[in-house]
Structure 1
Amino acid sequence: MSRIAEFPEILDDRQKELAERIASGPRGRVRGPLALWLYSPDLCERAQHLGEFLRFGTSFDKRLSELTIITCAAHFRCEYEWAVHAPIAEKAGLSPDAIAAIKSGDDPQFAEHDEQVVYRATRELLSGNRMSQSAFDAVIELFGERGIVELTAIMGYYALGAFLLNATEMTPPDGSHPFPDNV
């Protein structure tokens, strides 16, 4: 059970307009951090716009974006983020074995080189607050400067969401507890 209601009890006109805009966009609904951000309409407006670009508009294909997102979710042990994005990651083409390894904190085996590059860079930055020169160079080689900027932005956005979801103890939509030791 979340520490606060997922949606403000009463939405003012601006909050209603934001909720309608989010629901009519590529997400198709308002839930999770977006719903919670409605408590702060200015933040919600800016965050949803950034999030829409980072999830649907970067130079990364969905498989690599979702890899980055679930790596962040596992790092922060964010049950909501994990429960929503792990199935999307599998549908986008990540192997179930790699997804399971990421969840458990083991080193996943990837079929594709680009997956290994994205995972390594993401894990290094999350776990040590730095990225090695070789991980950085691998990202630049495959994705260029735009890639390093967008990869780190995806990480930062999903960390922002994970912090809020973890602070409020937002329950995943399916009621699951992907990280049972969190409970």
Structure 2
Amino acid sequence: MARLPYLEKSDLAPEDQPLLARDINLHKILVHNPAAARAFGALGGYLRHGTTLDARLRELAILQVGWLARSPYEWSHHIKIGHDFGVTDADIAALIQESRGEASALEPLARLVLQAAREVHDGPGIAPATFAALQQQLDPASLTDLVLTASFYCAVVRVLASFEMDVEESYMPYLRQFPLPA
């Protein structure tokens, strides 16, 4: 159970009700502070809709962070979102293999993006060799967006864990199909 109650539109001032346009638990917690919810949503919205990074690669980076953090909420939500942006079940299985240090059938750039996301998650940031390899594959704008994406979602998984966010029932099938390790 979440550490704060999930708010509904009726709990909010009229000017704040649009913050719950997406009826998900993350937003229902963040609206306890509407200004913070707006700021959080601004960067999240850019990363989802304005980034120069390929959408599939972006989702793989996010999924990598969710997997490493053992974040059921992030993992389940971005399996669904990832599917919308071209991530396949085979990609997800390959991500799990890569996370275990096993070889996968992912193309080299996807493997490199996952490596970068692991390095951002583990800290302090992307290793020099990984960064240099990324510079050979991505333009500076896309590389910046990759760093911002992985870093932002490291923060997101900590927000989710701190509030003990519940996974909505509609996302549970994704957790059953691709369970997180214990």
TM-score, length basis structure 2: 0.81
Distance apart, 1:172 and its partner CA:
1.3
2:36 corresponds in structure 1 to: 43
For 1:112, which of 94, 107, 111 is the aligned residue? 107
Match of 1:69 in 2: 62
Q: Distance in 2 between matches of 1:36 and 1:95?
A: 30
Unaligned runs of 5+ in 2: none
User: Do the aligned partners of residues 78 and 158 (structure 1) sit closer, same or farther apart at CA in structure 2, a change above 3 Å counting?
Assistant: same
RMSD, aligned α-carbons: 2.4
The aligned counterpart of 2:157 is 162
Aligned equivalents of 1:15 and 1:53: distance in 2? 20
Cα pair 1:32 1:80 within 8 Å, conserved: no
Which residue identity is paired with 2:6? E
Distance 1:132 1:70 in 2: 20
Amino acid at match of 1:4: L
Conserved 8 A contact 1:33-1:161: no
What aligned pairs does 1:69-88 form with structure 2 within 5 A after superposition? 69-88=62-81
Counterpart residue type for residue 13 of structure 2: D
Tell me the secondary structure at the aligned position of residue 100 of structure 2: coil
Identity of aligned residues (%): 25
Q: Does 1:15 align with 2:16?
A: yes
Q: Give the Cα separation in 2 of the matches to 1:100 and 1:112.
A: 14
Runs of 5+ consecutive residues of structure 1 not aligned to the other structure = 24-28
For 2:6 and 2:151, the matched residues in 1 are separated by 22
TM-superposed CA distance for 1:139, in Å, is 1.6
Identify the residue that residue 6 of structure 2 maps to in structure 1: 6
SS in structure 1 of the partner of residue 167 of structure 2: coil
When the two structures are superposed, what TM-score results if normalisation uses the length of structure 1? Answer: 0.81
Count of paired positions? 173
8 Å Cα contact 1:139/1:147 also seen in 2: no
**Equivalent position of 1:26 in the other structure:** none
Query: How far 1:63 sits from its partner (Å)?
Result: 0.7
Query: Secondary structure, in 3 states, of the residue corresponding to 1:137?
Result: helix
